[in-house]
Structure 1
Amino acid sequence: MSSQASINFKPFLAILCAAATLCSTGLSIFLYVKTSAIIDFTEIRTSPIPATFRRPNPYINLDRITHVSDFPPITNFPEVVLQMLLNDSRRPMKEDHRMQRTKVGTIYPDDRHIVVTREISTVLQFRHYDYAMEKCTLKAVIPDYAENKPFNDNIVDIWLLDTSDEISAQLPNTWTHAPERRNLLTSLTISPTSDPSYEFDCRSNEFTTFELACPSSPNLRCHVDFWQDRRKLPTGGELYSNPQYLDYLIITHRCIHYSKAWSGLKGAGVMLRLIHISNIRFNTVSRFGEE
């Protein structure tokens, strides 16, 4: 008797499952048709990428507070460092990185390449975060251990680029080609005896984009090439034998040596910092703005 009931029960389950499947399919079709009448999915799939990210002001009503004292300077690192070949009028940019694929995944170190030659320029973009810190100084500092070692001066032009928009890999239209040059701000002399800097206004929550390039005059030396790492302090160097009539300073993580092969300044394992440490650095320094 029980076996007969079991045999009769199996067709009932099959019919029940088929009915449930038909109901689910019908409900899905009904919802899709109704939703399509309200939302145009084609428009969603083809909607353009936004030109820029929305950056709301995080400092609401802080301008109503009376400033009783100044704040010390802060250090700001560039959000973007890109290289550009100067022989292409379209000004295409690329990122020279040290990304590596390892057993634990892709590693993207915070190393950035600053290179300025007759063939290559570098684009830097700073975002000014802090409220009322709107007086900035772009500064280049030579390491302590290089100040008493002779090498030739190098001239770097600092151009302001014609954009106030954010440059980001998530915004492809901003990442591919560099904006046009707006005006020449200054020329910095990179040498062991100078402390080059340039002051400019930097409004809070906005972007400033520079291009570091060689001067147009072929008679001026221009060759600066170093990697920066803003997250760690490079290891101090060990001084190796150096020939006379030094032309080219090379700074690496663990050694310093000199070469006559070039007539510029080159370094590796460096970072963008304000504090005077054993590195080369391009950075902006923000100071509290006066009312």
Structure 2
Amino acid sequence: MSPIGTVVPEDRRVLITPTISTVIQFRTIDWGMDDCRLHISVPALGGADAPFSLALYRLNQTHPLDASRPCPQRVAKIEDIDISRGQDTMWQRGFACQSDEVLTFELACSSISQGGCLLEWWQKRGVDPGQ
């Protein structure tokens, strides 16, 4: 556990390509919280590559993931998120949730992306992404 949740494995290069996706999971912990909001923020990317899109899916997983098991099935595609070079991307979506519910999503390259799709960052345990 860390101040921002559990990060598995502890220090990790996170990569999204046409063949690699990232699973995001969190548990609502506030009693009476019935409106959750998922935020995705990508700082401006450099380079001359063409813009691309990421697809956000809801996954069929209502309990904490076991990192040694295969990725759960996709339930629904929520939206394609356009990533442009040279400008920040800020995306958010609200949805209903219940206290102590486990919510699971997958962030992957969208099938509508023309050409390459590459997003990479390093996630370190215990580091608040807002810092």
What TM-score, normalized by structure 1, do the two folds share? 0.37
Q: Which residue of 2 aligns with 1:129?
A: 29
Report which structure shows greater RCO (CA 8 Å, sep ≥6): 2
After superposition, the C-alpha distances for 1:125-156 in whole angstroms (9 at most, x for unaligned) are: 1111222233222222244xx48x67643311
8 Å CA contact 1:161, 1:210 repeated in 2: yes
Matched letter for residue 154 of structure 1: F
> Are 1:164 and 2:59 counterparts?
no
Q: Kindly tell me: are residues 209 and 216 of structure 1, through their superposed partners in 2, closer, same or farther at Cα, counting changes over 3 Å?
A: same
Contact 1:117 1:222 in 2 (8 A): yes
In 2, Cα distance between the equivalents of 1:136 and 1:212? Answer: 18
Structure 1 runs of 4+ with >4 Å offset: 149-152
**Residue 140 (str. 1) matches residue 43 (str. 2):** no
Q: 2:104 maps to which residue?
A: 209
Between the aligned partners of 2:37 and 2:125, the Cα distance in structure 1 is: 18
Equivalent residue letter for 1:196: W
Aligned-residue offset at 1:189:
2.1
Instruction: Tell me how many residue pairs correspond in the alignment.
Output: 126
Structure 1 pair 112–130 and aligned structure 2 pair: CA distance change class (3 A): farther
- 1:181 matched residue in structure 2: 74
Partner of 1:153 in structure 2?
Answer: 51
Q: Distance in 2 between matches of 1:162 and 1:212?
A: 14
Could you tell me which amino acid in structure 2 is paired with residue 189 of structure 1?
D
CA contact (8 A) 2:53 2:113 kept: no
| 1:222 lines up with 2:117 in the alignment | yes
Residue 218 of structure 1 deviates from its aligned partner by 5.0
Which has the larger Rg? 1
Q: How does 1:46-57 map to 2 (within 5 A)?
A: none
Q: Deviations over 1:178-206 (max 9, x none)?
A: 11111101122234243122222232111
Percentage identity across paired residues of the two chains: 31
Q: Which has the higher strand share?
A: 2
Q: Give the unaligned 5+ runs of structure 2.
A: none
CA distance, structure 2, for counterparts of residue 220 and residue 190 of structure 1: 13
Quote the residue 2:6 is aligned against: 79
- Cα deviation, 1:217-240, whole Å, max 9, x if unaligned, reads 3516421111112524xxxxxxxx
The one-character-per-residue Cα deviations of 1:69-103 (angstroms, maximum 9, x if unpaired) are: xxxxxxx845355xxxxxxxxxxxxxxx4xxxxxx
Letter paired with 1:131: W
Match of 1:114 among 2, 5, 14: 14
CA RMSD of aligned residues (A): 2.8
> How many angstroms apart in 2 are the aligned matches of 1:190 and 1:230?
26
- Aligned partners of 1:80, 1:121: CA distance in 2, in Å? 16
Gaps of 5+ in 1: 1-75, 82-96, 98-109, 170-174, 233-270, 278-291
Cα pair distance change 1:77/1:231, threshold 3 Å: closer
